[in-house]
Structure formats: C-alpha cells, structure tokens
C-alpha cells in the first residue's frame, strides 16, 4: 500500500506569528485549487469533523443560535453556506435529534468536489445537499430560519463579503437570524493551531491539507475590529472561544 503523501513543510511558527499584524489577502489554500490533489482534499473533508470540534466550538453554535429556534412540533430550516463535506450540518442534526427537536439543514457549496464527497457519505435524515450559490437561492425566493456559515469569511474579498451578507439578509425569514462564524486572527490562535496539529502532521493528518491550509486560514482571517469596520448597518460582531468571531444579523443572541 502506498503511504499517503506528507504535507509540504510550512513556514516556521515564529515567522508566521510575525506576519499576523496585517491580514494576508493573497494567501492561497490548497483546498481551493480546482486542480489540486482530490485524494488529499477528500482526506481533509474526512478530518473536518474532528478539526471542527477543536477549533469551531460547534456545540456552542448549536446551543446559542440553533437550538433556541427549534421546536418539537414544527420543522425549522437552517441554511449552511459553503458547507464543504457537511460535517457541521450532520452534527447539528444529531444534536437536534437527541434533544427531540425537528430540524432540516440545507447544506450548499458551489464546489462539485465537496458535494460529491458529501453525497457519498451515509445519508442523514433532515440533511439536504445542493450544489448552488446563496445568490441563486435568494433569487429563487428560498427562506430559512437560520442562515449560517463556518470558516467561509476568510476566503472572501471585500466585494464577496458584501455579497454574502446581502444574500443572507434576503434568505432569512422574518424574525430569523444570520450568523457567520470564523477564526479570529491572533497569535494565540495561530500558535495553538500550529502546535496542536504538529504532532499529527505525519500520522493522522498525513496526506491532507489540514495543517498547511489551517495556518494560511489564520493569516487570511479578520480581527473583530477589521470586520466591525466594514459591516453594513444591522450587522454586529461578537467574539467566541477559542479565537472565534461571529458576524450576526437579526434578533437572536447577544450583541
């Protein structure tokens, strides 16, 4: 059996920390390369469930933003934009089911590679996978109780960020909320991710893009002040743990 390829060397931890003063808008994640290694990409999707548990605090997302909207008698609809391998929607559905609450998650991604992989995984009741954009859903008149994304914002330039937020407002049902979670660029976050993944780079994470792309993601991510400065009226930023930001629109949750 051929051993999975080892991730390429990444820059030293201390050099990376020195680069965090300004957002790196030019860094490119290997997962975003349409001609990239598909096997490495799919290994990365397979690891996202574990990685999200560590860096995304998905239980807190469920408790704060999703569970308060749910009912035991009426099905609520959540939209997950840029879902990748749909690890987060599957987790949300498991927790809602355990709580006896009714939930449907529409998970969308324009990348056919992500949807192809997600569709090959075991089906989960309430999960709807679609290769479509948020703009296309908004134009079709779709509406959701919660519109969300995870680790999407740092991939966007200013125009794309504005478009995502505008689409979110169109897609949210009256009285619903939109919440887009991402990394906050910080030395703590960068150092924690770098040191936390280093022992696994040549074993569990071997042959995936997780570590190399994760360090690029930190450099590409925003600070709370940077996001607050560019958000349109009605949107707000709140901090979460660990090194998390949430951009929120609507009536739910705390400011």
Q: Rounded to whole angstroms, how far apart are CA atoms 132 and 12? A: 38
Q: How many domains does the chain have?
A: 1
**Is 105 part of a structural domain of the chain?**
yes
**Is 111 part of a structural domain of the chain?**
yes
123: containing domain: 47-185+221-250
**Is 144 part of a structural domain of the chain?**
yes
Q: Phi and psi dihedrals of 90, rounded to 5?
A: -65, -40
**Is 205 part of a structural domain of the chain?**
no
Question: DSSP states of 3-35 as a string?
Answer: PPPPPPP---HHHHHHGGGS--SS---GGG-TT
- CATH value at residue 65: 3.40.50.150
Per-residue pLDDT tens digits of the chain, which is 255 residues long: 444 444 444 545 555 555 677 888 888 899 989 888 999 999 999 988 888 877 888 999 999 999 999 999 999 999 999 999 999 999 999 999 999 999 999 999 999 999 999 999 999 999 999 999 999 999 999 999 999 999 999 999 999 999 999 999 999 999 999 999 999 998 887 888 888 888 888 898 899 999 899 889 989 999 999 999 999 999 999 998 878 999 999 975 444
In terms of phi and psi (left: phi > 0; alpha: psi -120 to 50; beta: otherwise), the region of 182 is beta
Element (H, E) at 160: helix 158-171
Please tell me what DSSP assigns to residue 140: T
**Is 73 part of a structural domain of the chain?**
yes
**Is 20 part of a structural domain of the chain?**
no
**Is 15 part of a structural domain of the chain?**
no
**Is 103 part of a structural domain of the chain?**
yes
Q: What is the pLDDT of residue 6?
A: 41
């Amino acid at each position: 059996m051929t051993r999975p390829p080892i991730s390429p060397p990444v820059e030293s931890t201390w050099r990376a920390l020195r680069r965090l003063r300004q957002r790196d808008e030019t860094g490119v994640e290997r997962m975003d390369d349409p001609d990239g290694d598909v096997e490495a990409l799919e290994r990365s999707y397979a690891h996202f469930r574990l990685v999200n548990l560590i860096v995304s605090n998905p239980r807190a997302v469920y408790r704060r933003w999703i569970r308060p909207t749910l009912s035991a008698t009426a099905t609520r609809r959540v939209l997950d934009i840029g879902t990748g391998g749909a690890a987060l929607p599957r987790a949300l559905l498991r927790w809602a089911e355990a709580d006896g609450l009714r939930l449907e998650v529409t998970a969308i991604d324009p990348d056919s590679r992500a949807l192809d992989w997600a569709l090959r995984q075991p089906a989960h009741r309430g999960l709807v996978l679609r290769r479509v954009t948020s703009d296309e859903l908004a134009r079709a008149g779709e509406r959701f109780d919660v519109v969300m994304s995870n680790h999407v914002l740092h991939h966007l330039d200013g125009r794309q960020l504005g478009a995502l937020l505008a689409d979110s407002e169109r897609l949210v049902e009256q009285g619903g909320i939109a919440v887009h979670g991402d990394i906050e660029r910080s030395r703590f976050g960068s150092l924690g991710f770098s040191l936390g993944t280093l022992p696994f780079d040549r074993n569990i994470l071997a042959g995936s893009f997780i570590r190399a792309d994760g360090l690029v993601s930190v450099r590409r991510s925003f600070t709370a002040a940077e996001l607050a400065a560019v958000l349109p009226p009605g949107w707000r930023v709140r901090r979460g743990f660990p090194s998390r930001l949430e951009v929120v629109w609507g009536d739910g949750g705390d400011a």
